[in-house]
Amino acid sequence: EISLKYGAGRLGKRQDADMKRFRDNRLGAFIHWGLYAIPGGEWNGEMYGGAAEWLKAWAKVPADEWLKLMEQWNPTRFNPKAWAKMAKKMGVKYVKITTKHHEGFCLWPSKYTQYTVAQTPYKKDILGEMVKAYNDEGIDVHFYFSVLDWSHPDYRYDIKSEEDEIAFARFLEFTDNQLKELATRYPTVKDFWFDGTWDASIKKNGWWTAHVEQMLKEMLPGVTVNSRLRADDYGKRHFDSNGHLMGDYESAYERRLPDPVKDLKVTRWDWEACMTVPENQWGYHKDWSLSYVKTPLEVLERIVHAVSMGGNMVVNFGPQPDGDFRSEEKELADAVGRWMSVNGECIYGCDYAGWDKQAWGYYTRKGKEVYMVVFNSPYSRHLVVKTPKDVKITKAVVLNGKEVGVKETARNEYNVDMPAKDPGAPFVIKLQIEDNTNAADKYREALT
C-alpha cells in the first residue's frame, strides 16, 4: 500500500450506533427542490427532455438570468407537516433534502450568499421548516449539498493559473462557511450527501475533502458522510489509491444497482443507492411522458434489491413549485407505504443473507431470520431455495399469513410451497433455519 495523507480515514464498516441507525433505516426519500422546479424543464417555450434540475445548462441560461427565478419562488401550497406525514406513511426512515443544488440557490437563509429563500417572496427558512416537520414525525434528515455552484464567481472547473488558485481558495472557504452554517443551524442532521465533486478542481484538492469530513464529524459526532465527497492525495474518488472506501458508505449507485450475482463485492461495505421514478428527472419536470415512468412495483423491487445486497435505497421526489407533489408521486408513496406496512420487517434492520439468488426474487436477513421476498411466481408452484452447506430450513411462514410446506429435494436444496391462494402481489416468506453441521449424509454426488 502507498502512504496517503487524505485517503480512507477508517478500514471496514463503521459499527457505531449512528452508522447502525443509518444502515438499519434502509429506506429513504430524496427531495430535489429548487428554482429549477419553477420552469420544470421548459425554457422560452421550448421543452427540454434532460434532467429538469439541469435546465440552466441545457438552455444555456446565464447565472444572473437563472437566479431571477427567485422572484417567483413562493410555494403557497407548501405544508411541511403534510410532507412529513406522506413520508411517514410511505415508510421511509429518512429524507435527504437538497439544501443547495448546482444552481446555487439555498433553501436556508445563508448569510454567505444573496441567493437564498430569505431573498424571495417566501422569505421563511424552508429548510428549517422541513427539518422540524420530518424530525417531529421521527424521520431522520440528511442534507444533500452540491459543492459545484453555478452562482458563485469563484467556482473553478479546473485550476490552471495562480488566479484560479486564489479564486478557488476563496470558494472553498465560502463552502466551509456554508457547511458550518448548516451544521450549526440544524444540529439534528444525521448525514451529509455531497454531489458536484467530479471536477478537476476538487480532485486537485483532495486535502479539502478530507478536511470537510473531519470538520463535520467534529461539529456533529456520529454524522455520516458519503464517499462522493472524497478525493485522496492523487485525486482518486470514492475509493482511495489503496482501494479503500472513503467516507462512511459508497454513493456511486445513482439510477443503477449492483448485479446480485456478479457484484457481490459491494456486500463488504456500506452503500446507498438513489433512484429517479422517470428515467432521469430529479427536479420537478412538467412532462413525465418524455421517458418511462417506473411503476410502484418497479420501485419496490429496486428497494428490495438494494437491501438484499446490504445497501440502502433513496427514492426521489421532485416537488412542484407550488409546494405540492404531483399525483404520480403521491400514489407511489401510498403504494410503497401500504406494502411496507405489511412487509417492512424484511427491509428495516435487514442485510445481505449470503444465499445464492434465485429467479423468484430476493433474500434479506436479520440475525437468524431469512426472508424470501417473492416478485416472480413460478409455474412449478415451488420456490427453489439453496442453503449454505451447514444450514437447514425448519419452517416457512408467509408474513402476516399462513405456514407453507418445505420439502428437502437434495443436499441443501428445498422446495418451498407457494401460498395456497396466490397473493397476486409481491409477498414475503419468513424462514426459520437451523445449524445442519452433523446432518445424516444421505446424499451422494455423482462421479462424472
Ligand X SMILES: COc1ccc([C@@H]2N[C@@H](C)[C@@H](O)[C@H]2O)cc1
Under rule CB under 6 A, residue 272 binds ligand X? no
Give per-residue burial for 230-246: e unless 16+ CB within 10 Å, then b: bbbbeebbbbbbeebbb
Under rule CB under 6 A, residue 314 binds ligand X? no
**Beta-strand relationship, 413-417 and 406-410:** antiparallel
Helix (H), strand (E) at residue 28: strand 27-31
CB 252 within 8 A of CB 228: yes
Site pattern 15..44 for ligand X (x: CB under 6 A): -----------------x------------
Site pattern 229..258 for ligand X (x: CB under 6 A): -------------------------x----
Calculate the CA dihedral of residues 360, 362, 366, 367 and round it to 10 degrees: 70
Choose, by CB under 6 A, the member of 27, 29, 53, 350 that binds ligand X: 53
- Integer-rounded Cα Rg, in Å, for the chain is 24
With contacts defined by CB under 6 A, name the span among 9-17, 47-55, 63-71, 159-167 that binds ligand X: 47-55
Q: Which residue is nearest to ligand X (CB)?
A: 282
Q: Strands, E, within 214-318: which ranges?
A: 224-225, 271-275, 311-317
CB 34 within 8 A of CB 319: no
Q: Closest approach of Cβ 428 to ligand X, in Å?
A: 30
With contacts defined by CB under 6 A, name the span among 48-56, 152-160, 213-221, 418-426 that binds ligand X: 48-56
Q: Closest approach of Cβ 197 to ligand X, in Å?
A: 10
Q: Exposed, middle or buried, 172 (CB in 10 Å: 0-12/13-18/19+)?
A: buried
Q: Closest approach of Cβ 329 to ligand X, in Å?
A: 16
Q: Closest approach of Cβ 320 to ligand X, in Å?
A: 17
Phi, psi (5° rounding) for residue 362?
Answer: -130, 150
Task: Pick the closer one to ligand X by CB: 284 or 363.
Answer: 284
Task: Pick the closer one to ligand X by CB: 39 or 361.
Answer: 39
Task: Pick the closer one to ligand X by CB: 100 or 190.
Answer: 100
Residues lying near ligand X in the complex (CB under 6 A): 32, 51, 53-54, 195, 254, 274, 282
